[in-house]
Structure 1
Amino acid sequence: MVASLRSWVANEGGKHFVLILWLGANTWLFMKTFLLYFTGQQYHYLYKMLGCPTEKKETFGIHLRVVGDWTERFTQMLLPQPRMDLEILPMVQQRRYPKLYIDGPFGSPSEEVFNYDVSVCVAGGIGVTPFACVLHALLDGWTGFRLQRLYFVWVCRELQSFYWFSELLCALHHKLWQENRPDYFNLKLYVSQKDNLQSMSEEKYRPLTSRLLVGRPRWKLLFDEIGKTNKHKRVGVFCCGPKGISKTLHKLCNSARSSGTTFEFNKESFG
């Protein structure tokens, strides 16, 4: 996941950096790390959830991209350079790790995704992070939920961003096809930046390639399509992304009454 710190005043002294981690479809927490210093006016850090806890798995992990001074220092604290005169096993046994303080869990709007027969999750860029735990929960076992159909719309500027959760998306796609429910998960990927556009050519990403669209979503047409397919139903709409997308979806939810379908808007905040 990405945490973006903008317009900080550069000065000396220690700082604490608080990172929000989603642990599940209905829980999230803070991970507090120690920020030693910084030298610029803007930082971008990339964290990626390796997995979210589910009923069958009680652990979670993150991947830290080492970019800049404090991430390099943090990595050195976690993975100190081995001494040549030490064997590997004793080194591992003697290693002392810094403490990471975890607060939570706290409720999240995304927990309501499972309380509708039909839900729509719309993510802009790194706003996909809260919904990744929804996908993990479905991958762990989708039959135990009330949810019968999920529309998943992810908008990114660059194609490379889709690799953040490409394996998770493909895994859920394959699982539902094997269990004869290909209509359960409706995936649409939009890449808005057309310059130097490449393709996800790897064979394992074929399910994503066939659902990749260039440009921005036509939200009104999308809502009309969902309304016609799910007549006279309550549809939960969940958004985590730029204010422009959120405002547009909120307005459509208040005005759209296609085929008797009611759209209920839920805003997720992240970053």
Structure 2
Amino acid sequence: MIDGPYGAPAQDYKQYEIVLLVGLGIGATPMISIVKDILNNVKAKENEEGNTIEEGTRSSQNKKTHLSNFKTRKAYFYWVTGEQGFFDWFKGVMNEVSEEDHYGVIDIHNHLTSIFEEGDSRSTLIAALQSLNYAKNGIDIVAGTPVKSHFARPNWRSVYKHVEANHPNKRVGVFYCGNAAPVEELRKLASDYSHNSKTNTKFDFHKENF
């Protein structure tokens, strides 16, 4: 069962093995729905795998076919917001991903734009406190979850480059929901990397209306 708004473009994520999900502010809502759906499928496949255990050993055939009926193999989710309190909305989902995504299918990246980027002297104190608390307790003081937050907006070119390098010869579905500000940049990067990729990685850009 999928909770929250879930429009037609976002439903297309199931066509892709690799997805890049981007949500700005409240625009994270449909992206979170996708994350939950992916996690539910991963958990279902894990349970299915567990049911095939015979004499204390998982069959080699089952290992090879793990998640074979579920197409999405990797999801990168970038949530960008200027309001720290927004992270409370989906704290439960972030905790669930941290605890139950045993295969590392979902990568979550929270970005708080109201704090200067890492390395800026104006964010040194909070960055130090964040690192100390995370090292001691495994909890991010910004989001209150095991998902460590980043400061300032993502470098979208670096994000695309990272996905390209990790998934050669793949077609990546890029899904965005939020205000119009980054749409052209995300769309252009998808086109640029599709036409000039050294790894033959292709990016399909989709904008979700919310």
State if a TM-score over 0.5 links the two structures.
yes
**Are 2:93 and 1:168 aligned?**
yes
> Are the counterparts in 1 of residues 7 and 30 from structure 2 also a CA contact under 8 Å?
no
Paired with 1:125 and 1:254, the residues of 2 have a C-alpha distance of: 25
**Are 2:205 and 1:265 aligned?**
yes
Normalized per residue, the structure richer in strand is 1
Normalized per residue, the structure richer in helix is 2
Paired amino acid for 2:114: Q
* Equivalent of residue 8 in structure 2, options 102, 108, 111: 108
Structure 1: any 5+ residue segments left out of the alignment? 1-22, 25-51, 53-59, 61-104
* Equivalent of residue 152 in structure 2, options 194, 215, 220: 215
* Highest RCO, 1 vs 2 (Cα 8 Å, sep ≥ 6): 2
Paired with 1:106 and 1:215, the residues of 2 have a C-alpha distance of: 27
Paired with 2:148 and 2:15, the residues of 1 have a C-alpha distance of: 26
Paired with 2:10 and 2:179, the residues of 1 have a C-alpha distance of: 17
**Are 2:81 and 1:156 aligned?**
yes
Paired with 1:212 and 1:140, the residues of 2 have a C-alpha distance of: 24
Paired with 2:138 and 2:182, the residues of 1 have a C-alpha distance of: 30
Counterpart position of 1:191: 112
Give, in angstroms, the shift of residue 151 of structure 1: 0.4
Counterpart position of 2:39: 139
Flag as ranges the 4+ runs of structure 1 deviating above 4 A.
195-199, 201-210
Q: Based on CA coordinates, which of the two structures has the bigger radius of gyration?
A: 1
Mapping for residues 1-271 of structure 1, pairs under 5 Å: 24=2, 52=3, 108-142=8-42, 143=45, 144-177=69-102, 181-182=103-104, 184-194=105-115, 205-206=139-140, 208=145, 211-256=148-193, 257-258=196-197, 259-270=199-210
**Equivalent pairs, count:** 166
Give, in angstroms, the shift of residue 208 of structure 1: 4.2
CA RMSD of aligned residues (A): 2.8
Give the 3 Å change call, closer, same or farther, for CA 209–141 of structure 1 in structure 2.
closer
Give the 3 Å change call, closer, same or farther, for CA 204–140 of structure 1 in structure 2.
farther
Structure 2: any 5+ residue segments left out of the alignment? 46-68, 117-122
TM-score by length of 2: 0.70
> Are the counterparts in 2 of residues 138 and 172 from structure 1 also a CA contact under 8 Å?
no
* Paired residue secondary structure (1:243): coil
Paired with 1:140 and 1:129, the residues of 2 have a C-alpha distance of: 17
Counterpart position of 1:101: none
Give the 3 Å change call, closer, same or farther, for CA 167–107 of structure 1 in structure 2.
closer
Paired amino acid for 1:164: W
Q: Percent identity between the aligned chains?
A: 25
Paired with 2:94 and 2:204, the residues of 1 have a C-alpha distance of: 25
> Are the counterparts in 1 of residues 109 and 149 from structure 2 also a CA contact under 8 Å?
yes
* Paired residue secondary structure (1:260): coil
